[in-house]
Amino acid sequence: MTKKRFGVLTSGGDCPGLNAVLRGLVHTASNLDYEVVGFHDGFEGLLNGGNYEILSPERTAGILPLGGTILGTTNKGHFIAKVDGGTKTTIPAPVLAEARQTLQKLGIESLVVIGGDGSLTTALQLFEAGIPTIGIPKTIDNDLEATAMTFGFDSAVACVADALDRLHTTASSHKRVMVIEVMGRHAGWIALYGGLAGGGDVILIPEIPFSFEKVAEAVRRRDATGKYSTLIVVAEGATPVNGSEFVLAKGTGEYKLGGVGDAVARETARLTGKEVRTCVLGHLQRGGAPTTLDRILGTRFGVKAAELVAQGMFGQMVSYQNYEVRPVPIADAVHKLRLVPPNGQVVDTARAVGISFGD
Ligand code: F6P
């Protein structure tokens, strides 16, 4: 008898922990007597008759500590559901029809989508178009509603903290200000957690508009107490009061942010007269091996998603809540971004240890 099959794909920006998810998913599927078809390069793998491979437990052996995704991914292509700044857009009907045809041809009954906000918005459209779909939340940005954490975030934070440790020694040797621009798109989680873990002195996040003068004030305050170096962590989506996000490039999907770090460096140098350098951490935050936390969370998500397929719980996403992995409707995860609460406990904690938010 032929085995039941479900498909899986990784979509959007890659992040550490994707392979841990695939390994957990494939092992559980095999135990439940399913065959897993892995589509290459995100949703694009569903087109042109399908670009795919069979994922067996043997194929996923040894990939737990590997960064990236063995399936490949893209945050571009025919299935874009969110554009510039998060505006929703509809996937063309012929594209959906072609995807459905591929699944039918391969005898695939359902699809597991591992993705962030944009990719899960696509997954929801697939589900609403009649394709049984399960979601797994992935993003270093940690900005998805309905889950307390996404895998990939902890690895990105670890990268920021490591970078700050390194920048600290060079900044203090030269009595300089170092500005480090980090990812996170419209959310400040990476900057906030990375800044806290790495001993940042100023943290600028999209949720708390900053003033260049207040940032300079924080630098002067430190100088006055004999602390002649300052580390400023800037989220790529941080905005000055009455200003807007710094957009680097516009493409077919979400626009690319960047440049705020240089602006903060320029203004801080002008207002304080100090030597300032900028470091844009960029894709280092997305690469490399996942942390232990991301390996474990990824494995738990993968295992649970395969169980949900077997239980027919379509339209659901696995989520992490109160130490448990549970299903929640995909719709609940993508209706709005989960942002840092400006008056929340973590921001208060940061302020308590003397961190300035430039406000
Ligand atoms: O969403 C993940 C993310 O890494 C964001 O933090 C960042 O803005 C964006 O993707 C970068 O995308 P790209 O890989 O297209 O440069």
Please say which residue of 229, 263, 287 terminates a domain: 287
Question: Tell me: the pLDDT tens digits for 113-133?
Answer: 999 999 999 999 999 999 999
CATH code: domain of residue 161: 3.40.50.460
d(CA 37, CA 210): 47
Residue 8 and residue 145 in one domain: yes
Q: Please report the pLDDT score of residue 1 as a whole number.
A: 60
CB 50 within 8 Å of CB 8 = no
Interval between CA 130 and ligand 1 midpoint (Å): 30
CA of 323 to the centre of ligand 1 (A): 28
pLDDT of residue 305: 98
Residue 274 within any structural domain of the chain: yes
For ligand 1, say whether the CB of 286 is within 6 Å of any of its atoms.
yes
Q: Which of 287, 317, 344 is the last residue of a domain?
A: 287
Predicted confidence at residue 88, as pLDDT, reads: 82
Domain CATH code at residue 124: 3.40.50.450
Give distance in angstroms: CA of 183 to centre of ligand 1.
7
Whether residues 144 and 52 share a domain: the answer is yes
251 shares a domain with 297: no
Q: Quick one: 25 and 54 in the same domain?
A: yes
How many domains does the chain divide into? 2
Q: What is the pLDDT of residue 260?
A: 98
Q: What is the H or E stretch that residue 6 is in?
A: strand 4-10
* 13 CB near ligand 1 (under 6 Å): yes
- The reply to whether ligand 1 has any atom less than 6 angstroms from the CB of 74 is no
Determine if ligand 1 sits within 6 Å of the CB of residue 235. Answer: no
Catalytic residue among 14, 41, 117, 141: 141
Q: Is residue 305, in this structure, part of any structural domain at all?
A: yes
Domain assignment of residue 202, yes or no: yes
- Is the Cβ–Cβ distance between 204 and 237 less than 8 Å? no
Specify if 345 maps to a domain: no
Q: Are residues 175 and 135 in the same domain?
A: no
Ordered mean pLDDT values, 10 residues apiece, the chain (359 residues): 91 97 98 98 98 98 98 94 81 95 97 96 96 97 95 98 98 98 97 98 98 98 98 98 92 87 98 98 97 98 98 98 97 93 98 98
Any atom of ligand 1 within 6 Å of the Cβ of 141: yes
Position 357 in a domain = no
Would residue 355 count as lying in a domain?
no
Catalytic site residue 141?
yes
Residues 6+ apart with CB under 8 A from 124: 81, 133, 135, 315, 330, 331, 334
Say if residue 145 is in the same domain as residue 176. no
pTM of the model: 0.96
Task: Give CA angle at 329 (290, 53), nearest 5°.
Answer: 50
The dihedral sign for the CA sequence 130, 113, 256, 69:
negative
Instruction: Please report, in angstroms and rounded to a whole number, the separation of the first and last CA atoms in the chain.
Output: 65
Residues 277, 191, single domain; the answer is yes
Same domain (yes/no): 143, 159: no
Q: List the residue whose alpha carbon is closest to atom 13 of ligand 1.
A: 13
Residue 62 CA, distance from chain mean position: 24
Ligand 1 atom at minimal distance to the Cα of residue 257: 8
Q: Is the CB of 185 under 6 A from ligand 1?
A: yes
On whether residue 217 sits in a domain, the answer given is yes
Check whether residue 63 and residue 161 sit in a common domain: no
User: To test the ligand 1 pocket, which listed residue (10, 11, 75) has its Cβ within 8 A of the most ligand atoms?
Assistant: 75
- State which residues form the domain around 12: 4-151+290-334
- pLDDT digit string, tens, across residues 263-318: 999 999 999 999 999 999 999 999 999 999 999 999 999 999 999 999 999 999 99
Could you tell me where the DSSP H helices lie in the chain?
A: 18-31, 93-105, 117-128, 153-174, 189-198, 212-224, 260-272, 292-311, 330-334, 345-352
pLDDT of residue 87: 81
In short, whether 156's Cβ falls inside 6 Å of ligand 1 is: no
The pLDDT of residue 196 is 98
Q: Is 113 helix (H, G, I), strand (E, B) or coil?
A: strand
> Is the C-beta atom of 140 inside 6 A of ligand 1?
yes
Residue 183 lies in a domain: yes
Number of Cβ within 10 Å of residue 287's Cβ equals 15
Do 256 and 222 share a structural domain?
yes
Q: Which of 140, 205, 248 to mutate to test the pocket of ligand 1 (most atoms within 8 A of CB)?
A: 140
Place of tokens 């500005």: 179
**DSSP character at residue 44:** G
CB-CB contact of 200 with 355 (8 Å): yes
Alpha-carbon span 334 to 3, nearest angstrom: 33
Give yes or no: residues 32 and 15 share one domain: yes
